[in-house]
Structure 1
Amino acid sequence: MTTKEITVFVSGATGFIALHVVHDLLKAGYKVIGSGRSQEKNDGILKKFNNNPNLSMEIVKDIAIPNAFDDVFQRRGREIKVVLHIASPVHFKTTDFEKDLLIPAVNGTKSILEAIKKYAADTVEKVVVTSSVAALANNIDIKNNNLVITEESWNKDTWESCQADAVAAYCGSKKFAEQAAWNFLKENQSSVKFTLSTINPGFVFGPQMFADSLKDGINSSSGIIAQLVRSKTGGKFYNYSGPFIDVRDVSKAHLAAFENSECAGERLLLSEDLFCSQEALDILNEEFPQLKGKITAGEPGSGPSFLEKNSCRFDNSKTKKLLGFKFHNFRDCIVDTASQMLEVQNEALN
C-alpha cells in the first residue's frame, strides 16, 4: 500500500507540534484529516497549506466532553488507518486542576480510543499518542541528580498528590492520559486491531511551522526562549532545566512511530540532551550581535555545573536506536527558534 492510499487522522492539528506533523505527512504523500476547535481555525490551517487536496479538517470543539470524537469517526472512521492523538490541554493558569487539566487529558484520550472502537475497529491499524517526559517523572524527580530516567520510567505522583500545583497537575495529566491509553488497549484487545506507541518529548523548542503563528501566542517551551530574547541587561530570569528536543524531530518521530513496526508497543523518549536557560542565553549572546549587551547575560558558562546539581539523567538509547535518525543539537535549535522570533518582531516594528 502506498502512502497515497493511507489516511492519517491528527487530533489538535492546529497546535505547535501538530502543524509540523501535518506538514511532514503531506510531504510524504499521506492523506490527512485534522481536527481543530472551530471552523475559523480549520479554515486558517487549510489556507496555510494552500488548500492541499490531501488535507481536510473536522471540528472537535472540546476534547474533554464524553464522545468528543464520535461524530468524526462515525462519518469518516472507515477512511482512517492511522490515528495520531496530539491534542491535550497545556496551560498553567488554573486552580481547578481536575477540571482544567487532569479530566480533559484523560477524557480526550479515552474518547478518541472509544470512537475508534465504535466506528473504526477494523480500519485503524496504528495509534500514536503524544505524551510527555512528564509522564516519566514528576517536576520534583526531574531535578533529582541521582535519578536516571528511561523509557520504562513512570511519574510516581498519584491523582491526589499531583494536584499540589499547576505544574504538578500538568505532569500528572500526561501520566494518567498515557496510562488510560495503555489500559484501554489491554482491556479491548479482542475488539480493536490497532497497535499503540507513545511519544514522550522533553521541552520542545524549534521554529514554528508558520512564522505568523507567533502572533497568536506561543507554546510554553518556546515561551522560555521568548522571555530570554525579551529580557533586559542584568535582569533576572528563571533557570529552567531538563531534557530538550527540537519540534522537527518530534514530528519525524510521529511518522516513524507508525511507519516502523518495531515501534509498536513502545514509548519513545525524545531527548537530545539536557539544557538549562543559562545555556540558551549564552547561545543568544554569542550568535545574535543585535541582542548582545541588550539582554541579560546571567552567569555565562555556568550551565553545565548547574545541570549537574539540578537535573536527573536520561538514557534514551533504546529510542535513538529505534528511530535511527540524528536529533538537532541545542545550538541549531535555539538559533532557528530565536531567528524566527526576531524576524517576526522586526516585521511588526516596520
Structure 2
Amino acid sequence: MSVFVSGATGFIAQHIVNDLLQQNYKVIGTARSQEKVDKLIKQFGNNKNFSMEIVKDVADINAFDDVFKRRGSEIKYVLHTASPFHFNVTDAEKDLLIPAVNGTKGILSSIKKYAPKNVERFVVTSSFAAVSDLEDQSNSNVIYTEKDWCKLNWQTAQANAVAAYWGSKTFAEKAAWEFLEENKDSVSLKITAINPVYVFGPQLFDEDVTAKLNTSCEFINSLVHSTPETKVEKTCAGNFIDVRDVSKAHILAFQKEETIGKRLILSEGPFGMQDIVNTLNKDFPQLKGKIAPTYEETDVKLNKNFAKINNDETKKILGFKFRTFDETVDDTAKQILRVEKRL
C-alpha cells in the first residue's frame, strides 16, 4: 500500500517524501505540471517506490478524481500538503481562500467516491494561523493551545493578504473536520491536523536554493544577504519550527494511534528577525561585519508583548525533541552559503 502526498514539490512535502522513502514506503506524489513531475522524479533518482501524478488545479473541486479513480486501491494514507502559501494576493477569494478550501474538500470527496474503505488515515497540513488571531498576536496575556481556533470569517478574511492566508488555513482545516463528521459512516479514514508555525530549515535539494526562497525561509535568506546598513525589525516575527521536525510529525501523525482526531501545534519557541541576525553573526565569522549588526536586547528575548504557545500536549503525543533555533538557522544558512560557494 502507498502513501499519497499532495503538493509533493513543496518545501515541506519534499522532506516528507524523502523521509517516507527512507522508511521504505511506496509514495505517490502530485504536482501541477509534467515539468514539475519530471524534475522531482529525477531529483529522487528515479526511485522505484516513488511515482507522480499531475493535478493541475486544486481549486477545481474534482481535481483529484482521476488519480483516485485509477489508483485509489493502492492508497492507505493521505498527506494533504497542497495549499497556497504566499502574500502576493490580488483577489483573496480566488488566490487563497477558494484553492485552500476546495483542495481539501476535493481530495476528501475523491477519497469518498473511489477509496472510501482503503484510505485509513488523512493528515492535513494546516497552520498555526488556524489556531491564532491576528489581533491577539501582541497580547502577552494570551496563551494558545491545540484547542484554539482563528476567529476570522469568510468576509473578514478578505481584508488583506495576511488575513486571507490566516482564513485559508482556518477554513480548509475546518472543512476536513466537517467532512469527517458528515461522512463518518461512508469513509474509514481518521483525521489528524498538523499546525506548524513559521517553518525554517534547509531545502531538501541544493539545486532548489535560488536567489529568493519560499516565504518562511526567505526571512533567513534575506538576512544572510543583508548589509550593515540594513534596518532589522527588533520586534517578534512569530514562532519557529524546523522543516525536518514538521516532516517527522506528518509521518508519526498516521503511524500513531494517539494522533487520531488531534490538532498538533508544531512550535519550538518565538523568534524575531534580530534573533536570526544574532545567530548568523555568532556562528558565521565570514558574515560578521558584512550583514546587519548584532543587537542583544530583543523583545523576544525579553519575552515582552507577544502571545504565547503551550503545545505540551503535542510534544507529549509526538514524543521527540524539536531542533533548536540555532541549529535550524545555521543549517539553513550553511546551505545558502555552500551553494553560493561562500562556505
- Matched ranges for 1:231-250 at <5 A: 231-238=226-233, 239-250=235-246
Contact 1:279 / 1:303 at 8 angstroms: preserved in 2? Answer: no
Alpha-carbon distance between aligned partners in 1 of 2:340 and 2:210, rounded to the nearest angstrom: 9
Asked if 1:263 corresponds to 2:232, the answer is no
- Cα pair 2:130 2:195 within 8 Å, conserved: yes
Aligned equivalents of 2:162 and 2:294: distance in 1?
25
Would you say 1:277 and 2:273 are equivalent positions?
Answer: yes
CA distance in structure 1 between the aligned counterparts of 2:212 and 2:5, rounded to whole angstroms:
21
User: For residues 43-63 of structure 1, what are the alpha-carbon distances to aligned partners after superposition, in whole Å with 9 as ceiling and x for unaligned?
Assistant: 111111111100000000111
Match of 1:58 among 53, 63, 71: 53
Counterpart in the other structure of 1:147: 142
Number of residue pairs the alignment of both structures matches: 342
Q: CA RMSD in A?
A: 1.4
Match of 1:117 among 103, 112, 115: 112
Q: Distance in 2 between matches of 1:117 and 1:216?
A: 42
Q: Which amino acid aligns with 1:262?
A: E
Residue aligning to 2:97: 102
Letter of the 1:170 counterpart: Y
The equivalent of 1:341 in structure 2 is: 336
- 1:290-347: CA deviation from partner (whole Å, max 9, x where unpaired): 11001112523424356422x2100000000000000000000000001101111227
Residue 167 of structure 1 aligns with which residue? 162
Mapping of residues 1-350 of structure 1, within 5 Å: 6-215=1-210, 217-238=212-233, 239-297=235-293, 299-305=295-301, 307-309=303-305, 311-346=306-341
TM-score, normalised by the number of residues in structure 1: 0.95
Whole-angstrom distance in 1 between the partners of 2:100 and 2:139: 26
After TM superposition, the structure 1 stretch with the greater mean CA deviation from structure 2, 284-293 or 142-151, is: 142-151
What fraction of aligned residue pairs are identical, expressed as a percent?
55
CA distance in structure 2 between the partners assigned to 1:53 and 1:217 by the alignment: 32
Question: Any runs of at least 4 consecutive aligned residues in structure 1 with deviations exceeding 3 A, and if so which?
Answer: 303-307
Q: TM-score scaled to structure 2, two decimals?
A: 0.97
C-alpha distance 183-20 of structure 1, shift in aligned 2 (>3 A): same
> Following the alignment from structure 2 to structure 1, what is the Cα–Cα distance between the partners of residues 134 and 10?
24
Give the Å deviation of 1:207.
Answer: 0.6
Task: State the AA in 2 paired with 1:107.
Answer: N
Does 338-347 or 189-198 show the bigger shift? 338-347
Structure 1: state its 5+ residue gaps: 1-5
On the 8 A contact 1:202/1:270 being kept in 2, the answer is yes
**How far did residue 139 of structure 1 move?**
2.6
Say which is worse superposed, 231-240 or 25-34, in terms of deviation.
Answer: 231-240
Structure 2, unpaired ranges of 5+ = none
